[in-house]
Amino acid sequence: MESDPDLEVPPYRMFLPTKRYFEFKVESCEPGARVGLYGSSEEEYDYVVFLGGDSNNEILIMDSNGEIFARASYFGVLQCHKSSPYWVAWEPGVIEVGKGQYPHTILLEGRDEKLTLVTSMALLTWERGLPVEHPTKWTIKRRTGQCYLCD
């Protein structure tokens, strides 16, 4: 079996996916980790998966207008000093969020018939007054897709 090394990447990086899912690990002291999904434009996301919500106890899927169309409650979505493995998958009309290795442990599913295509994605971080010594850490598998400015 071919090795697929982890790659630690800073936030605000764009990816061109090679599959219909995206596996990653995130370590964050604040509930502000988001994965933006882009289809129609690279200027503005079409959907965003928000891990943690305002209280670190929610996972949300929102559209570009900020309207929540799927929500689930889970205690302690993000961990401050421990990486948590998640995945996001899509197909026409459906976005899924899971924990662990794809396709196991689906946590949330959102349906929207307007979703047709995901051409790129971005790792986004919302850090409200977070001390510099604890920035959010993102880790992806190299096979996930082509990354801009990651190496």
pLDDT tens figures, 83-132: 999 999 999 999 999 999 999 999 999 999 888 788 888 888 765 555 55
CA 104/CA 142 separation, integer angstroms: 20
Give me the pLDDT at residue 70, please. Answer: 96
Per-residue HEC secondary structure of 63-92 comes to: ECCCCEEEEEECCCCCCCCCCEEEEEEEEC
Give me the percent of the chain exceeding a pLDDT of 90: 35
CA 150/CA 100 separation, integer angstroms: 23
Q: Is a pLDDT exceeding 70 seen at residue 19? A: yes
Residue 144, SS3? helix
Residue 15's DSSP bridge partners are 121, 147
> Looking at the chain, how many residues does it have?
151
pTM of the model: 0.85
CB atoms within 10 A of CB 33: 27
Q: Is a pLDDT exceeding 60 seen at residue 149? A: no
Q: Is a pLDDT exceeding 90 seen at residue 58? A: yes
Q: Are 16 and 146 in contact, with CB atoms under 8 Å apart?
A: yes
Q: Which residues have CB under 8 Å from 67's CB, separation 6+? A: none
CA 13/CA 79 separation, integer angstroms: 21
Report, as an integer, the average pLDDT of 64-83: 92
Report, as an integer, the average pLDDT of 4-32: 74
Report, as an integer, the average pLDDT of 3-19: 65
Q: Considering Cα of 45, then 51, then 55, then 58, what sign does the dihedral take? A: positive
Confidence grade of residue 13 (pLDDT, cut at 50, 70, 90): low
Give me the pLDDT at residue 1, please. Answer: 41
